[in-house]
Amino acid sequence: MKYRIHPVLLPIFLFFMIVGGVSLYAMLLFSLLFHELGHVLAARHVGMKIRSCTILPYGGELQFVNRQLASKQQRLIVALGGPVATAVLLVLGMCLTFPGDAQFIKIQLILLSVNLLPILPLDGGQVVSVLLETEATKYTTRSNFLLYSIIVSASLCAYLIVYLPDSLPLVIITSFLAVQNIISYRFRRYERVFEQLTKKETSFF
């Protein structure tokens, strides 16, 4: 499995280093890595093979081997793995006393709140998508949910721009989400064809 940090994280890390110092930067990076570890452990628990892991501002993105063959239960467990890991850090931060604990708790609250938003590709959106999809309406449901996610993420970005420069990290995150959803929407037909071909090959063997 390959690991990498997405370049969009650099301006966010730079912002936190300027306003909060190295300790805040270290806590943010640790929190993101631990969040993604939750997804990785959940994936291994349900038997899903991971091709690569990319650390993003809101957590991370896992590329799976034959993800389209995973069951709804497998996808649901993997999607919840990250928020559960972040919730564990949040509880520990509240129960233990250490230097910077207030900042640590704030980071977990923000990370958890953002990730549970019901828009793609966030964990909350993945959970809602899995629950809404059926085998017969999977393509239509995901297409409509992508459109909804584009509108919501773009609207949030426009709203947060008013509060710059304090809202810079959130503006970067929401704009990044909007772009990701637009790309996914444009390529959704190709993904559907690839999924159908993969299922046919699996059935043949």
Query: Which of 169, 167, 120, 183 is CA-nearest to residue 146?
Result: 120
The Cα–Cα gap between 170 and 57 comes to 9
**Per DSSP, which regions of the chain are E strands?**
2-5, 50-56, 59-64
Strand segments, DSSP code E, in 28-173 are 50-56, 59-64
DSSP assigned state of 75: H
* Neighbouring C-beta atoms of residue 152, cutoff 10 Å: 19
Q: What is the DSSP string of 20-48?
A: HHHHHHHHHHHHHHHHHHHHHHHHHHHTP
For 49, which DSSP code? P
Q: Which of 36, 61, 195, 201 is catalytic?
A: 36
The number of helix segments (H) and strand segments (E) in the chain equals: 7, 3
**Half-sphere exposure of residue 8: CA atoms within 13 angstroms, side-chain side:** 19
61 as an active site residue: the answer is: no
Q: How far apart are the first and last CA of the chain?
A: 26
Which residues participate in catalysis according to the annotation?
Answer: 36
